[in-house]
Structure 1
């Protein structure tokens, strides 16, 4: 650890779950306060979103209290694991209430809210907390005692501000690069969809036929036994797929996680490799082609094509093109669904076999190209996420600010900005902010209002209007992190 840094448990530098009684002496029953449900707490978003205000009397009981500058940490699964976390800012009357599943950490005089936020943002913190979560399945929570006992490397305040400034600059650039890569992933997918549209809208002169007219078999799957999850049906050599397998397949279904035994097969049907599957319930109009012989239930229609009229690949593509039209036919019931009757009068384009083969080849090439692009951008997204964690690891080891001493340029004091911009409320006065003390943290008010406001625009992740599509990581962050940053050549 760097000279001048120390390890301290969070319980010594933060007050946990400050008492809501402190707001009673400031606000009246009808005064408005911000309300932040769990859905509004972002995933690793520094500033919490607060779009709703409620009278104090409506939220005082049953909800968690917090004030401007407090750090909110989701403690329940899966929100904790997903990184739901943020700093309360801009609250109505400087006070807020929210989900009972929030754990509130109020920074003391020795730590800034931003430095604490970045510490809690680390994958390492969440990964260490997951094994100690307690409670019933689906309702597990990370214990407050574990968070309180977690040690944080703590440099002087000026050093914390330098760490935050470097991370802010780097993370802003990473956010812009991430947004660009995500857009490129969407563009790669749209490239194929556009090719699909062009391919099938050009078939205006083709013969229009129903699926029954181009198939030797067109029927729903079979699973007669009730209950369908009877264990006596499973554990044999016959693959059993369901709607989820069709949705998740990359065109061909080549494996599954369930199988029928002889008893299971006797109440179902084994469909041959090459069967086109289309879902008619739960996940409407999803399609795939069997790459193995398999059984499926009546929530899936099977199409065994007539090889003299069409191919499995062409039928899967044409169904994919008409997916939204087919889904629209299933609207109007309590649960969207379609059935065999949906296709009785639905005409689809079927040109000559030669034209079908040419179109399938073009779409196959476009699909492969689109998929390669998508994989490349997905890899870039993964590299950017790893870069963030690498920067955080270096930040809390002390390595990030080596060479960024007191004489190095850095942002203005976060604490000073906090005093200037936070803590105001209508009618004068502000909430008292208690900080941990040697006597157990029972309520000494903080001199600075405890706001620790961020520098202007920090953490928003929004690039300037003239920002290039994929910006490089700032030079200061590169030097400190020892990385070349993501490539920007697409």
Structure 2
């Protein structure tokens, strides 16, 4: 342990579920479990309600999911944006707050995400299977060697700088995604740039003269995937080909998976290799109708249709599928579970514009998606850096005073 660090019982280092006074006749910001994103540091309230019990907190407090599987999924966030600095939420939150003159709120957040603390919480959960929880009192048995307040703040500042850059990239991407959808609607639904021109009738209604309606199968190549035999686990060991599942599609621009299969597994299943920037659509399962775009050459399971560029760019059909999701699901079959077939997707009617009319728009969208992709890649690097530094800094394995210059250089190089 570094010389100026101390050993603390966690109860002596942070306030857990600190007492707060509320007015029962007033409404306060409310945070639900679903509001917590494991990939985001901050959580904002989603509603306002009158207090009827639950976890009470203020800005800067850490909300720590105490129930399975939310804890295992990493639902730990720092609450922000509370009006009048008070809010409440799910009874399944533990609230962590720094103690005056002992611990820093931001450091407490990072401490709660430290792998040892999370593993301690998970191993001390009690209750019936599927509804296990960590009790507040369990943390009385957790002892940690921790730095003095000035060093806590310095550590939190370094980690916060990384998280701030990640959040900034996410905000930029959200703006770019909203802009892309607005442009799609303006050009291909409202036909805003062509209102003074001539229109012709089509199966989709009136469209600009020179444009035609075709099927996705005419403008793009499609294929579905497959699942290599689970009886041969060697198919899933030391693989090099990313294998994407339908449950991983969430309307994101870039979809990646940690699971990889071998070339032998690919050759002995119905799965097919498809190029990067293929648009993937879930055909059945809980995420039916969801889409995504793969960032590298990969394959997928049989519940996904891969749509590959041929006549038109990938982002055009991606925006079309997102915009038309409700109409597409109306064509789904099945009662208990909706299903969409590759045939249905191939036969979907889509506008084929004159390329001379949209060349400028497509160039703008392509540039925007390049920025999106670069931001996502940068965030992966930053996330890996943060998750590597966090336990080393908090445990004292890496001292900030001794390695500040090297750490700041790494952060600078990571965001270039």
TM-score range, shorter chain: 0.5 to 0.7
Q: Mark the CA change 1:371 to 1:115 in structure 2 (over 3 Å): closer, same or farther.
A: closer
Task: State the Cα distance separating 1:8 from its structure 2 match.
Answer: 1.6
Query: Does residue 317 of structure 2 align to residue 329 of structure 1?
Result: no
Query: Does residue 406 of structure 2 align to residue 393 of structure 1?
Result: no
1:313 corresponds, among 310, 314, 339, to 310
The secondary structure found in structure 1 opposite 2:411 is coil
The secondary structure found in structure 1 opposite 2:78 is strand
Task: State the Cα distance separating 1:7 from its structure 2 match.
Answer: 0.8
Task: State the Cα distance separating 1:86 from its structure 2 match.
Answer: 3.4
Q: Mark the CA change 1:486 to 1:324 in structure 2 (over 3 Å): closer, same or farther.
A: same
Task: State the Cα distance separating 1:205 from its structure 2 match.
Answer: 4.0
Q: Deviations over 1:302-347 (max 9, x none)?
A: 99xxxxxxx9834895755643565353366999887878987946
Structure-1 separation of matches of 2:15 and 2:218: 72
What residue in structure 2 maps to residue 465 of structure 1? none
Q: Mark the CA change 1:111 to 1:90 in structure 2 (over 3 Å): closer, same or farther.
A: farther
Query: Does residue 120 of structure 2 align to residue 129 of structure 1?
Result: yes
What residue in structure 2 maps to residue 380 of structure 1? 378
What residue in structure 1 maps to residue 289 of structure 2? 284
Note the 1:18-29 alignment, pairs <5 A. none
Q: Mark the CA change 1:163 to 1:27 in structure 2 (over 3 Å): closer, same or farther.
A: same
The secondary structure found in structure 2 opposite 1:100 is coil
1:84 corresponds, among 55, 76, 89, to 76
Structure-2 separation of matches of 1:169 and 1:329: 47
Task: State the Cα distance separating 1:181 from its structure 2 match.
Answer: 3.6
Q: Deviations over 1:398-444 (max 9, x none)?
A: 965648xxxxxxxxxxxxxxxxxxxxxxxxxxxxxxxxxxxxxxxxx
Task: State the Cα distance separating 1:9 from its structure 2 match.
Answer: 1.4
- Asked if the contact 2:7–2:146 (Cα under 8 Å) also holds between the matched residues in 1, the reply is yes
Structure-1 separation of matches of 2:338 and 2:11: 51
Q: Mark the CA change 1:372 to 1:324 in structure 2 (over 3 Å): closer, same or farther.
A: closer
The secondary structure found in structure 2 opposite 1:3 is coil
Q: Mark the CA change 1:193 to 1:344 in structure 2 (over 3 Å): closer, same or farther.
A: closer
Note the 1:139-150 alignment, pairs <5 A. 139-150=131-142
2:33 corresponds, among 31, 38, 47, to 38
Query: Does residue 92 of structure 2 align to residue 101 of structure 1?
Result: yes
What residue in structure 2 maps to residue 416 of structure 1? none
- Asked if the contact 2:249–2:290 (Cα under 8 Å) also holds between the matched residues in 1, the reply is no
What residue in structure 1 maps to residue 200 of structure 2? none
Task: State the Cα distance separating 1:64 from its structure 2 match.
Answer: 3.9
Q: Mark the CA change 1:256 to 1:285 in structure 2 (over 3 Å): closer, same or farther.
A: farther
Q: Mark the CA change 1:46 to 1:11 in structure 2 (over 3 Å): closer, same or farther.
A: same
Query: Does residue 48 of structure 2 align to residue 52 of structure 1?
Result: yes
1:487 corresponds, among 389, 398, 413, to 413
- Asked if the contact 2:378–2:414 (Cα under 8 Å) also holds between the matched residues in 1, the reply is no
Q: Deviations over 1:131-184 (max 9, x none)?
A: 5153555434345455332223345xxx40x23443454455434432444466
Note the 1:306-455 alignment, pairs <5 A. 313-314=310-311, 319-320=317-318, 322-324=320-322, 326-327=324-325, 329-330=327-328, 346=349, 349=352, 376-385=374-383, 386-387=385-386, 390=389, 393-394=392-393, 397=396, 402=401
What residue in structure 2 maps to residue 112 of structure 1? 103
List alignment gaps of at least 5 residues for structure 2: 195-207, 236-242
The secondary structure found in structure 1 opposite 2:165 is helix
Superposition RMSD on alpha carbons, in Å? 6.6
Q: Deviations over 1:447-487 (max 9, x none)?
A: xxxxxxxxxxxxxxxxxxxxxxxxxxxxxx94384644223
- Asked if the contact 2:36–2:76 (Cα under 8 Å) also holds between the matched residues in 1, the reply is yes
Aligned residues: 363
**TM-score for the superposition, normalised by structure 2:** 0.54
- Asked if the contact 1:64–1:102 (Cα under 8 Å) also holds between the matched residues in 2, the reply is yes
Structure-2 separation of matches of 1:294 and 1:390: 33
- Asked if the contact 1:42–1:86 (Cα under 8 Å) also holds between the matched residues in 2, the reply is no
Structure-2 separation of matches of 1:249 and 1:89: 28
What residue in structure 1 maps to residue 65 of structure 2? 74
Q: Mark the CA change 1:120 to 1:32 in structure 2 (over 3 Å): closer, same or farther.
A: farther
What residue in structure 2 maps to residue 420 of structure 1? none
Q: Mark the CA change 1:10 to 1:181 in structure 2 (over 3 Å): closer, same or farther.
A: same
Structure-1 separation of matches of 2:60 and 2:283: 50
